[in-house]
Structure formats: structure tokens, C-alpha cells
Amino acid sequence: MSESTKPQKHEFQTEVRVLLQLMIHSLYSNQEIFIRELISNGADALDKVRFEGITKPELLDGDSDLRIDLHVDEEARKIVISDNGIGMNEEDLLNGLGTIARSGTRDFMKNLTGDSKDDMSLIGQFGVGFYSVFMVARNVEVLTRKAGEEKAYLWSSTGDGEFQLSESSKDSRGTIITIELKDDEDATPFASEWKVKEVVNKYSEFIAHPIWMTVLPKPEKDDDGELKPSEEKEAARLNEKTAIWRRPAKDVTDENHKEFYQQISNDFAGEPLTHTMQHIEGMQEFWSLVYVPTKAPFGLFNQDRGHGLKLYVKRIFIMDDCKDLLPTWLRFVSGVVDSEDLPLNVSREILQDNRIIASIRKHVVKKTLASLQKMADDKPEQYTGFWKEMGVVLKEGFYMNYEWLDELKSLMRFNSTSSGTDEVISLKDYVSGMKDDQEVIYYITGENLKTLTSSPLLENFRAKGYEVLYMADHVDEFMMGGLTEFDGKQFKDISRGDVELEKTDEEKKVEEEQQTSYQKLCESLQNTLNETVETVRVTSRLKDSPCVLVNKEDAMSAHMERLMKQMGQDNMPTSKRILEINPEHTICQTLQSKAEAGDELGDWPTVLLGQALLAEGSPLPDTNAYVQAVNKLLS
């Protein structure tokens, strides 16, 4: 203990006593934060003396080896955190450690609402992280000497509403904080070497200044049962890793990126497909490093899966999976954001409406999408591999998002009637290959590619050479609610309403005649299937199939209805469909003759409807009835 003059007591105001209790019990959700806060304060002090030492070298006094030291005494239940930074004088102690007892207090107390979230947000604005130490400490001493000054001061408090301040002595600049831990079980772990190391590695492993720790373990008994004197362990450095995201991009090797990616993503066997690094300065300053994986992360297609980026403030770890930095439709990426402007005690509640976070998020999303677009332009085969692994997640970006639609449209890839099921094309490629008379982008949705490729709805499109996009992912129906046009071309679901393809005068004439001649068959089928089908009509969209089911223009598609039921929406009403028949097919011609002759159609309406449902991947309303009808026709 250093010699000191008689300490002077300083009473905190009554409001501050309440405030201190509020901080200790409400602000921090876990007690280990106090180590992070004190190390961060030490790092700030080192930064200040280094900066001021540039113009005033005498402040360094020949000691330019800037460092933070931790000393853990397990037997005495003490932690000592020291630095050789800028230090403090009497005024700094009163205005620094006593800040909450001064001008800010009344403003703070006036703004307390009683709502815990609002109160926590206000607390974060007053920079009171030092006081988190009283969650575990029964007494705290701060011995400090300011660089360039001779006097040292000793500040002490038990956190009960007052502190003591006196002159003292210290051989060199800097600050030594001595923490005497409480005797309760919550504070006990912090008297151990492993716990302090764990906390430093979690929050402070990327601090720019070295952090050294020495430990005085609990004494052991010898063979005679006598206590042996404890020997202090050799100092060990706890933070030898550098903040890779703050290094110049040219100095970071592919191996560096691979190692860091595996560390933050827990994908220890994988490699990043690509990455983006950026450093933004101006109204705010931050660094970001974002990785796109080569393979889809485990659980990617579960929207409840944890996602986000690691958030750091001035190299200090704040939280994992900061969702406010990343939309869910980019949840396949991993990385870090390091802000110079956020407070250390920022909470998830504060982040939600934080302008700094909103700005960082915009930069990160823009940079990530730009890197994917560059890959798509420069390395299309590599991008195709990415798309097959994670493209379905990007499609979610069209739901409840109006900011990045143009960028997402350029990144979309689809199978189609022209590209087949193995290759994918972009919307740009589709539009460039459109027929001269084509005004819309055609697409079809369904359960899977196999079902779509065999859909009767495609027959006339194939015959006339019109390309149709396949949309077989579960998210596609929802995506199309936001993906309504591209390059001025509207999207058209070929299962909805009428689809008018180019027809010759002869084709138009034949179609008009068939509409009249098949009227009797259409009416007969309609009467039999009235509970399921709204109307029956002749179509020219079929070539090889006898019939097909389509939706009304404003109705929910059959695929969407199936998806909604799978999601538990069993009470949704089912829309009646339109049954279109092919007048060129032998079956329809045979049935037309029966209808004209006044004969009963028998089991044919059930079979035709069942075929149409099966062809589109829909379940049969009565499987047994369908099987019996087929058997009767076959026998």
C-alpha cells in the first residue's frame, strides 16, 4: 500500500445512490462485463498517452512499452488491473469517476421513465461502465498519476454512495485498480485464473495493446500439513491475435482469411468462397469483414437460425449474432463489424433504433451484394455453385424489403425450359432471349423441378419456342409477391387466367369453331364436377395432354394453397379451379361424341380431374374413388 495523505470523503447525491444501484442491478446482464470495461478504460488511457506523446515526448519519460497488466490473487480474492497510460489527477478523478455525481445526474434522473429498456438506453449515454465493478467488488481502490505531473492520488469506494480521495505516491504515470471481491458465490469465480482468461479472450483478445497476466495461486500444504508460500507464475500474454479486419487488405493472406473465417463461423472444415473488407470514415468510422461460405451453413434454411455479425466497439467484443447488422436473407454470411462510435455498454434494445447501426447495416449489405454481383459477372461458374447452395435464401429478400430489389433481381438465377434442370440463367439472359412479340416474363411454380418439367401447361410454350422459368423452391410463391417486374417486363404465371401466345389466323378460326362445337362436353363436365371446378372450357395451350387445371387471374395458386396448409393454415378456403380441355386429344374427341349423342360420361370426369391434379402435384380429393374409376375404364 502506498503512503497517502488523510483521505477526504465525498458524498454522492441521494439520486446518485439510487442510480448506482440501478446500474449495478439493471444495466449489465452478466457480471463478467466489468473486466471488459476496465481493460477498455486502460486501452483508452494508453491511446491517449501515445497520441499526446507525439508532440510531448517528455510525457512518455522513456517508457514507450505501453501495456495492461492483470494480477490475480486467488487466496486474497483480489484482482489488480494496471496500465501505464495517461493517468489521472485530482480534477480528472472528480470529473471522471465522479461524472455521474455532477451535471449529467439531474438530466439523467429527469429522463428516467420507469421503463427498463428506456432507462438502460439512457444509462448507456452517460459512460458509467467503470461502476460495473461494484457488481462483484466490496471495495475498489484506484491509484493513479497523470503523465507529466508529480502528484499521485488514491480514490476508493465501496459503492455505497460515497468515495474517498487523497494524495498518494506512485513512481510512474498510469493507473492501478485494486478490486477486493465480495464473499458471495457470484464473485468467487473471478478470483481464478481460468475465469479471468476466459473473459479476456472473449471480449478483449483483439485490443491493440498487450495484456499480460500474472497469478498468485492459492497456497498448498506440504507433507507436514504446513502451508507452502505461493509462487507467482510468470507473466503470460493473453491477446496475441491481431484484429485482422483493421489490417490493410493487401497484408492479409488467403490463409489468414481461411483461419479467421473458420474461427468466427465454426466451420472448421470449410473455406470462404469470397470476402469483403471495408473501412468507412467520415461522420462515423467503422471496419467490417464479411465472408460468404463455399457450402451452405448447417441449419441455413431455418429462418429461426441465429444469424448476424459479431459486433465490436474499438476492438472490444460486444455481442455475437448482431441481427440488426444483417437482414435474414443474408444469414449465410459471417463476419465482424468494429465501430469507433458506439458505446461499450450498448444493448440489443438500443441497437434496434440506432442510427449508427442502421448506417453500418446499409454499407455492409451494399458491399456484400456488390461482391456477389462481381462474382456473378467475373466468375459465373463459381457464382452458379454459390447459387445452388444458398440462392434460395437470397430469394427471401423480396419479402417485406423495398430497398435492395434491383440488386437482388440481378443476382437471381433460375432453371427454365431452355436451360433445363442442370443449368441456370439470369433474368437479364431471359429478357435478351425473348421473342420480338413477347411482352411478359413467363414462369411456373410447383413442388419440384420434375413435376414442373412434365407440366401440361408448358406444352404450347415449348411448341412455339417461348421460354418459361421454373420456380420450384418453397419460397418462390412468396418471392413473386415482391418480384413483379424486371427491365420493364411484367411477370406472368402461366397457370393463371388466359395466356395469349401468337396465333395465326387459321389457328384463331379453328379455336373459335372448337369453342362452339365442344360446348356440350364442357357443360356436361361442368355439371359433374361442379363442386370442385368453377368452369370447363376449351384451350389451345395443350398439345399432348387431354386436360389441365388453371387458376383464375386473381385467385391464390394451387401451389400456394398447398404451402399454406403445410404451414398449418387448414381453415383456408379452397378456390375453385378452371378445367381446360384439349379438343385435339383423342379422349376429348371421344367424350365429345358421347356428349353430342346424349350418353353418360361415366367415370371419365373423375379420371380427367384426377389426372390434372396429379400432373400439377396436387393431392387427390378422394384417392379411392379415382382408383376405382380408372379400374372401371381399364376393365
pTM: 0.82
CATH code for the domain in which residue 105 is found: 3.30.565.10
Please identify, among 355, 375, 395, the residue that sits at the C-terminal boundary of a domain. 375
In this structure, the answer to whether residues 419 and 458 fall within a common structural domain is: yes
Buried b (16+ CB within 10 A) or exposed e, 335-350: bbbbbeebbbbbbeeb
Q: Is residue 383 part of a domain?
A: no
Name the grid cell of 185: 458465490
CATH number, domain with residue 515: 1.20.120.790
Instruction: Mark whether 19 and 142 lie in a shared domain.
Output: yes
C-alpha cell at 559: 401451389
Last-in-domain residue among 178, 194, 218: 218
Write down the H helix ranges in 136-267: 193-203, 254-265
d(CA 239, CA 242): 8
Q: Are 214 and 235 in contact (CB under 8 A)?
A: yes
Task: Tell which of 375, 402, 423 closes a domain.
Answer: 375
What is the rounded distance in angstroms from the CA atom of residue 146 to the CA atom of residue 125? 26
Q: What's the pLDDT at 125?
A: 38
Residue 292 lies in a domain: yes
pLDDT computed for residue 270 by the predictor: 87
CATH code where residue 468 lies:
3.40.50.11260
Q: How far apart are CA 208 and CA 226, in angstroms?
A: 44
What residues make up the domain containing 329?
250-375
| Structural domain includes residue 225 | no
Structural domain count of the chain:
4
Q: Are residues 451 and 552 in the same domain?
A: no
Q: Both 339 and 368 in a single domain?
A: yes
- Cβ(278)–Cβ(334) below 8 Å: no
Contacts of 575 (CB under 8 A, 6+ apart): 551, 552, 555, 556, 561
**Residues 422, 524 within the same domain:** no
Three-class secondary structure of residue 195 per DSSP: helix
Q: For residue 499, is it within any domain?
A: no
194 and 333 fall within a common domain: no
DSSP-derived 3-state class of residue 367: helix
Give how far Cα 243 sits from Cα of 208, 247, 289, 568, Å: 8, 7, 10, 47
Considering the domain architecture, whether residues 478 and 545 belong to the same structural domain is answered as: no
- DSSP string for 272-289: EEEEEEEEE-SSS-EEEE
Asked whether residue 243 is domain-assigned, the answer is: no
Indicate left, alpha or beta for 314 from its phi (over 0: left) and psi (-120 to 50: alpha).
Answer: left
Please check whether residues 471 and 511 belong to one and the same domain.
no
C-alpha cell at 239: 491477446
- Based on the fold, state whether residues 302 and 350 are members of the same structural domain: yes
Q: Which parts of the chain register pLDDT below 70?
A: 1-4, 11-29, 96, 98-128, 218, 225, 227, 229-230, 303-305, 502, 555-556, 558, 565-573
Question: Does residue 536 sit in the same domain as residue 577?
Answer: yes
In a domain, 381, yes or no: no
Note whether 307 and 436 are same-domain residues: no
Residue 334 lies in a domain: yes
In three-state form (DSSP H/G/I as H, E/B as E, the rest C), the secondary structure along 6-71 is CCEEEECCHHHHHHHHHHHHHHCCCCCHHHHHHHHHHHHHHHHHHHHHHHCHHHCCCCCCCCEEEE
At 364 the pLDDT is 96
**245 in any annotated domain:** no
Q: Are strands 577-581 and 533-538 parallel, antiparallel or unpaired?
A: parallel
Given this model, what pLDDT does residue 489 score? Answer: 95
Does residue 432 share a domain with residue 366? no
What pLDDT score was predicted for residue 22? 64
